[in-house]
A and B are shown apart, each in its own frame.
Chain A
Amino acid sequence: GENVEQHPSTLSVQEGDSAVIKCTYSDSASNYFPWYKQELGKGPQLIIDIRSNVGEKKDQRIAVTLNKTAKHFSLHITETQPEDSAVYFCAAPLVSSYGKLTFGQGTILTVHP
């Protein structure tokens, strides 16, 4: 099946700094890569996703980059704010099985004021 590795497991930054979280995947046929944010006591919520026909996608302060050759994709958050503090998950689909998602282990991001 698909194997997704996510690093780092925890990340602490000062407000205004940038944060980068990286994921690697194993299924070379994967073509959809979402990132989810989970706030305390809530379910995960999609914040950005990218499909394999593009290398980068931006949405205000967040961006995702994809390197299909190296089979890794990254989440970039610029000008971090305390409300960015949450757990972030990457995911990749197992294309051969209805595209069901395999999630990374999660990154706890803490933004200090």
Chain B
Amino acid sequence: NAGVTQTPKFQVLKTGQSMTLQCAQDMNHEYMSWYRQDPGMGLRLIHYSVGAGITDQGEVPNGYNVSRSTTEDFPLRLLSAAPSQTSVYFCASSPSGQGEQYFGPGTRLTVT
């Protein structure tokens, strides 16, 4: 099993550009989440999904969209990038909402 994979590893965007961060898992987990990690602020939940076709907002959803058309994939879309979205983004999956979360390797995003 590859576990949770994320692409790209690094990305630089200009303000106003849009892009999609990809996340895929091959463990047949129902629960998937996106977090952003900023210095001194831990991991903050952006959006999450409890199964295909079901998504909900987390703590910091503004400026981001998600969809979950399959169990395996959970892409995160930045609609119009802003410097405040400079961060490291982690995708995670879990068999349930309360249990071990398996994290991907992260995407380091810089918005100039």
Contacts and interface: CB of A to CB of B under 8 A. Distances in A.
Interface in B35-54: 35, 40-45, 48, 50
Interface string A24-51: 0000000110101000011111100100
B45 A100 contact: yes
Contacts of A100: 33, 45, 48, 58, 97
Nearest to B96: A99
A79 B33 CA distance: 34
Q: How big is the B interface, by class?
A: 20 to 34
Interface in A1-37: 1, 6, 9, 31-32, 34, 36
B45 A89 contact: no
Given A43-B106, A98-B56, A104 B42 contact: yes
Interface residues of A, number: 26
Contact of B98 (A32, A102, A104): A32
B103 A45 contact: yes
Contacts, number: 61
A108 to B, nearest CB: 10
Interface string A102-113: 111110000000
B90 interface: yes
A97 B90 CA distance: 20
Given A43-B104, A44-B103, A98 B42 contact: no
Interface of A: 1, 6, 9, 31-32, 34, 36, 41-46, 49, 89, 93, 97-106
